[in-house]
Amino acid sequence: MRTKGTKSIADNRKAYHEYFVIEDYEAGLELVGTEVKSIRLGNVNLKDSWCSIENNQIFIKGMHISPYEKGNIFNVNPLRVRRLLMHHREIIRLLSSVKQDGLTLIPLALYFKDSKVKVKLGLCKGKKLYDKRDSAAKRDANREIQRSLKSHI
């Protein structure tokens, strides 16, 4: 039986703090053996991961999928390089953006979409320290506004 809809597995909240997200893309993830079972249990970390394009293929590096505890000999290296599945045209477009504009590809989220594991990729530009402070100040101001509106109701 195939389940329908989307279910979030992991988010890369650090990416939103470190980068401006210009565009986002969806890509499939090529997994081996027990990795899917481990992902279903939520044993995945996107914190320090990034993507690179080599030979017109896109790879995700630094993503940690913990070994499945009942997988014994079938478990693979938790930090291995995994290939992402995208259309060739999209990969070429991303490659040109990364090369010309100095942008970075960062995995923003990992989720199930109709029983398939998908990655939300962000085409990102790095924030400077003053940008991070500005974002934090705006977030704090919005939080204060929401608090004052709640207390007056």
Average pLDDT over residues 63-71: 84
Average pLDDT over residues 60-83: 84
**By C-alpha distance, which of 120, 126, 151 is closest to 8?**
120
d(CA 25, CA 68): 28
152 vs 147, higher pLDDT: 147
CB of 111 closer than 8 Å to CB of 120? yes
28 has pLDDT over 90: yes
pTM: 0.79
84 has pLDDT over 90: yes
- Number of neighbouring beta carbons within 10 Å of residue 149: 9
4 vs 52, higher pLDDT: 52
CA dihedral of 126, 130, 131, 137, whole degrees rounded to 10: 150
Q: Which domains does the chain have, with CATH numbers?
A: 6-128 (2.40.280.10)
> What integer pLDDT is reported at residue 36 of this predicted model?
86
142 has pLDDT over 80: yes
2 has pLDDT over 70: no
> What integer pLDDT is reported at residue 67 of this predicted model?
86
